[in-house]
Structure 1
């Protein structure tokens, strides 16, 4: 394999300001806001042939500028928003820099997760961090929970055949494809031309402006003060969206259930600023509690398997009927259209399936899959989900309506490709925690003292911060805080 970029994708990476402006214009927000945005830094900032710094800076900046636009809508005053690329990409790796009481965070990855060469010489990636996904893969392979045993078993499979069989069983596996192979796939064809974030009006409701901030009793008003967000998400992308809304003052209530698996370091890292409760939506009483919460919500974010919440009666249309004016925000792995619209997935798998691991390996002169230097699709999706939610709140205030915001990891990947390549990017040195010490802060939590990455967006009048600490799941009661 040669260490070069394919000619078609070797164009210079796009300017971050123009990338942010395109996101902004696509959401139908006021153009004057862009004059209040200041972006510094340039790719490369991490070892990658992709413009990962630009993706981090532009998506994070769009979310912060949307908060500033809501502030202007509520107060009549604009404020300046500044985002440095180095800080943005560091926040895109927040889970890597998490420390608990000065020591390492709990382990994130299961011991058999990762890439394996199959019998046809092609590669697959397994995601086995949830016990039911791990156990399902082991049953399918008929082997022990051991990397050598898994490798021996996969030597009897063709990569795409194993991917298809595992997916049919509800498991999360991806075969590695090149960009050319992905571009010929029916799912890629279905997504072609779709933006990374879409806003759709799905119901009628009168305009609902957020209350004027001077009327709120809080002495520390922020752009989303008084906004209520139901957070039905796990892992990284959706929880980052909720964490971002909380950083701008929203009352974010994470809803989980005792029977659902979670990943400890991600719960700790993304729980900043949120309250969290447990509701089992299979229980009639808990379902009634959810509907009571829904009637008081402004935003609902969900990242469960496609159709999962709809089966429980809280899909977008049903939720909007129950609460006219709701902003319903959906995350999926591969998009809401196409043959893979119901397919489960995570960032590392989508990177593998859609060509990124192959492209990075090709640029590095390697054979084995080469991941991006961060869970870029997850984190970018998180900020784009938050951006879409705030854009819909802004439009709800003047246009009315109920809104459905959609983001998928595969569409974010399509967007990242469109930003161009960084020919010398893989020569950039890796960043260790000591290299970003100036971007970290220490906060108390229900898990101990946390070392975390500060929010990268700087708002001149309402500094982003988390007013509540991360707490263990199930800490809080399922009810809203007073609005002001």
Structure 2
């Protein structure tokens, strides 16, 4: 059943992208990924990786020559479980992140970033040394909706754990999982001759993303040969382990787009870019003058990928979020929980799947640009991906056993570079020649100059 669901999801996405329905013949039969859950996380994971693999190689791949490895896909989706930085595992979750019981229900807080943790502590009136028990005690005094409003208003991250609303998800699924939108006219850009194992070689891509989904998309594009330059503001700093885990094959530079000099340098980079991937809140992009339409007006022919947690209407555009919060708010946490407490998917699957699907969309638009030109936008939201997962046939129970540590470790790579030695999950993407390996170790956050490699 799971394989059939993955095939159907891939076919639906391929149609949304306007691709040739014969192209999926390049794929060998899709595997299952051992990601046990009540919801069909396996199909979501496998279909997304298949879409990105197929978008990269469909022009040259023989029938059945792209073969995905289900265990490798599962390891990539659970990448934080194999990650080691100079031999040490990362501290993935802050003590201030997690499910907590409010006076009238459950909430999920997110305090991995120091500024979000500080906002939560301010609202709760606890000091910097407060531990999880202190936070639990204070949250228990609040009504869930009041706490969410207060924490969000203070600049923090908190959502109420909600029941599934099928009518909301059905409405979301009336719209494509990946929205493709024309933003303006431009002449065709001649395609570069692809290298045998680097189909995106010679392409330049700017990466303005953080936290899994965007970095998954852009590290996939780097894996396939693109020159990917990540641009971050100087503050707040990125979490070191998170940056490195999402950064193989990419370079990293800092620019403050609120200053005239850095904004001018950014425009020079844009003038030579083939694509840009945006992961900040839509309202923040508007304020900086780098919304998709702003970019299209100034740089005709640019391919734009955009991610959002909640969507793209006015209210969603102001709202920040993470995979764990979308799981809690959409009903997934209660589907995966027990009668006593909410639960979570076995991976940050909304993030990872959205990243691979967006990479497939960016590659599709780059190919289309070489034929008929235009300035194009592909956009996705984690909430829309959640609706897709909730709409897949359900197992009713967690299903097959997941990977053990030894099995996951066999699908990890050790790379060394300017940030030291890292062990990170091997690429899930497959090529007609077989599995792929990371082209270069990640660079420390902000350690590169804001210029293209050549």
Q: TM-score range by the shorter chain?
A: over 0.9
3-state SS, counterpart of residue 28 of structure 2: strand
- What's the CA shift string for 1:210-251, capped at 9, x where partnerless? 22247xxxxx66110111110001111101111100111110
* Distance in 1 of aligned mates of 2:76 and 2:2: 24
The answer for the alignment partner of 1:223 in structure 2 is 199
Alignment counterpart, residue 430 of structure 2, candidates 449, 455, 458: 458
Q: Confirm or deny that 1:441 pairs with 2:413.
A: yes
* Paired positions, count: 452
* Cα displacement (A) at 1:86: 2.4
TM-score of the superposed pair, with normalisation by structure 2: 0.94
Distance 1:213-1:84 versus aligned 2 partners, 3 A rule: closer
For 2:77 and 2:448, how far apart are their aligned partners in 1?
Answer: 28
1:27 and 2:17 equivalent?
Answer: yes
Deviation track 1:148-181 (CA, whole Å, cap 9, x = no partner) reads 221222122111222233223332111111113x
Give how far 1:190 is off.
6.3
CA deviations 1:41-67 (Å, max 9, x no partner) are 236x23211111111110011011111
CA contact (8 A) 1:106 1:264 kept: no
> Secondary structure of 1:39's partner?
coil
- Describe the superposition over 1:108-149 as per-residue Cα deviations: whole angstroms up to 9, x where unpaired: 2211211111111x1001001111111111111112332222
Distance 2:240 2:147 in 1: 29
Report the equivalent of 2:382. 409
Q: Is the 8 A contact 1:60 1:380 kept in 2?
A: yes
The alpha-carbon deviation at position 469 of structure 1 amounts to 1.4
Residue from 321, 328, 332 that aligns with 1:352: 328
**Change beyond 3 A, Cα 1:79–1:474:** farther
How far off its partner does 1:396 sit? 1.5
Larger displacement relative to structure 2 (147-156 or 59-68): 147-156
CA shift, 1:313, in A, is 1.6
| Structure 1 counterpart of 2:27, from 33, 37, 41 | 37
Q: Quick check: 1:331–1:406 contact (8 Å CA) kept in 2?
A: yes
In the superposition, the TM-score normalised over structure 1's length comes to 0.88
- CA RMSD, aligned part only? 2.2
Superimposed CA distance per residue, residues 435-468 of structure 1 (whole angstroms, 9 cap, x where no aligned partner): 2233222211323222222112221248643322
Q: Which one of 28, 46, 52 corresponds to residue 41 of structure 2?
A: 52
Q: Structure 1 pair 377/389, CA: closer, same or farther in 2 (3 Å)?
A: same
**Shift in Å at residue 82 of structure 1?**
1.7
Structure 1 stretches of at least 4 aligned residues deviating more than 4 Å after TM superposition: 11-14, 76-79
Structure 2 distance, partners of 1:386, 1:137, is: 34
Deviations 1:355-396 (A, max 9, x none): 0010111xxx43211000100001011111111111111221
Alignment of 1:164 with 2:136, yes or no, is no
State yes or no: 1:87 paired with 2:68. Answer: no
Q: d(CA) in 2 for partners of 1:57 and 1:260?
A: 34
Among 340, 350, 361, which residue is 1:388 paired with?
A: 361
1:112 aligns with 2:96: yes
The equivalences for 1:223-302 within 5 A come to 223-302=199-278
Distance 1:104 1:90 in 2: 18
Range with bigger deviation, 351-360 or 156-165: 156-165
Residue 403 of structure 2 is aligned to residue 431 of structure 1: yes
Aligned position for 2:177: 196
How big is the shift at 1:430?
3.9
Contact preservation (8 Å) 2:212, 2:352:
yes
CA contact (8 A) 1:335 1:341 kept: yes
Confirm or deny: 8 A CA contact 1:235 1:262 kept in the other structure: no
Structure 1 residues 18 and 84, CA gap change in structure 2 (3 angstroms): farther
- Consecutive unaligned residues of structure 1, counting only runs of 5 or more, are 1-10, 215-219
How far, CA to CA, are the matches of 1:124 and 1:25 in structure 2?
A: 38
Seen in structure 2, the aligned counterparts of structure 1 residues 297 and 12 have a Cα distance that, compared at 3 Å, is closer
What is the distance in 1 between the residues matched to 2:186 and 2:263? 24
SS at match of 1:449: strand
Structure 1 residue 195, shift from structure 2 partner: 2.2
The CA deviation at 1:15 is: 2.8
Q: 1:432, CA displacement in angstroms?
A: 3.1
User: Aligned partners of 1:189, 1:161: CA distance in 2, in Å?
Assistant: 28
